Structure 1
Amino acid sequence: MIEVTKDLPRSADGLQMDWLEVPFGPVFPGLPGGLKLTLTLDGDGVTEGQAMSLVGMSTAGEDEGMDMDMDVETFLEHLSTAMPLAPVSYRLLACLAIERVAGLEDDPATAGPRAAALERERIASHLGWLAQLGRQLGFAWLTERASTLQLEIQSASRERLTELEPALRALAARLGRTPLLESRLRGIGMLPPDSTELRGPIVRAADEGGDAWARLWQRLSEISASLDLIKEAEEPRLPALRNIGHVSGTGEATVDTPRGEARLSLKLERGQVKSYRLDTACSHHIGLVAGLVEGRELGDALVAVGSLDLSPWEVIS
């Protein structure tokens, strides 16, 4: 045996074993569909890993020969349908960037319904992540409850959202009482608060511990905050583009999507989108995977990656 294994890599426990490169996804319980996670395993330990999106979109550049020609309404549909986990956020982002070209400022008549629709999507998105967490940890009750609430909330009126508030707060309370949940998430997926790659719930949780446990409670806190904002806002309404005419110029906008800031800059010529550049939180967060999984046991590595709430569709190449 010594002779057979003498040239194999030596693991942290001193054993010499074959290292295996193992793919997880693009369909794997507890990870978003469309995400391919490749881990190099030394026994049940991870020596290195990387993640890539198999469904992410490409952003149209501004270099010569890369011009596109799309009317603004078609572009709205293109961007929102390309982001199935946050279509309202990206539809709003496109509306704002296009309206900036026309020099339109925020209109109170549209700002309130738009803000309410964005916060409603934030709640639904965080519930979708909770359902995914339940699948990963084997909590069938969490998957079922979070999925049911997510479906109810996606198109709920402000009145219905108010009616669902006790159920949402009860879910958070139950998670706080769930045996062993904290011990399973505490210390997993630690991220430093000063990382320039962090956005959204991940950066906000970094100051509260920066681990999977902190990210869970950050998202629960955001659900509560979104409910409070919706109470003060108008009826949620899908963002619609205001009349911009046949303007030409450039514009840019930023929206805090459920996964963090997304930024869009675009160029219009006579009301047609000629080119655009999109920057998303997940395009930065996917690069965190390698550092999170290295040296971890396999189960902890998968929990760490899941806690990032990566949307493969929001990874821009």
Structure 2
Amino acid sequence: MAEAGEQVAGVCLIRVVSLPGKKRVGYVSWLMSDPAFRGQGVAQRLVDTATNYLESLGCHEICTMVEGYNTASSNRFFRVGYRRLSGSDLLRAWGVIHTLVLWWKTHFFFAPGHFFWVKGCVPKEAGRYGAVHTIFFHGLLCTAIALFRGEMFGMSPPEHGFAWFFPATVAATLLFSLRHGVLRYVGGLKRSECVYRPWSGGVGITIITALLGYVFPLPGGLYPRLQEWSTAHYTARFGRAAMVYTMLLTALLWLSSFSMVSFPTVFLQQTAGFFLFMGIPLLLFDTVFACAPFAGFTARRLYDWHRGIWGVCALCGLATFFFL
């Protein structure tokens, strides 16, 4: 806790997470400073003190969890040696069991759009196949949900139910390619400047939602390659791109809904069905939920850029969700 006279200027909560095999990892679970003291280095001093204290307890690796666009927080950790690690980085460094236990104990399973920042591990360059893994995961997930439900937008399963995997994967490819393509090119985000990062956080929400017969999409996002950067620098570019993307997706979802039955082949009808199945909830989160823990979706980019445009997009998302 940081104090200024008799006032509490900031608070930082830390703990030691015990993993199998007597492995201990320091965890900075919460950091907050009083708005009246912001800009005075209070939060940075709290991060420094918390890190030093956890190291004094014998924690050779210390981690925290930060939403991908919350650069005010992530930059503070970067300055004292923390680095953003992907899910595959953690799996390589700590193994499957340790990683999954850590994710469970830190609630990372329920934090879409968040990333682990770790001091004591070196990240690799973002992989080239993160988008492929995201598409494959959603294709497989939607196939399993469709088989569990026994139908998909009124269509009965094929003779071999797993044959749904191909149209589901094609639909996921179209949906996420549309999302990332529009965000990249409308936002003017060059490949040398921004990179796609899949979301490992939020898988718990996806699993629970799937058990109920629905899908909670984890599309990942585009982020600058730099470890330290400022969200404010990209606000207008992200906002304009998010507006174009959400309007285009809204139009395509309504078009798919009205024209699906007229498609000439069963495969195209199935693809359109899966496109709607994944696209409708994705549009909802990408237009409506601009607050934690869903701030990684594009709704927050719209909200930060222009509140009025965010409101219009949110109404479109709600109308699509309730009436399609």
Shorter chain as normaliser: what TM range?
Answer: under 0.3
User: Relative contact order: is structure 1 or structure 2 higher (C-alpha 8 Å, sep ≥ 6)?
Assistant: 1
More helix by percentage: 2
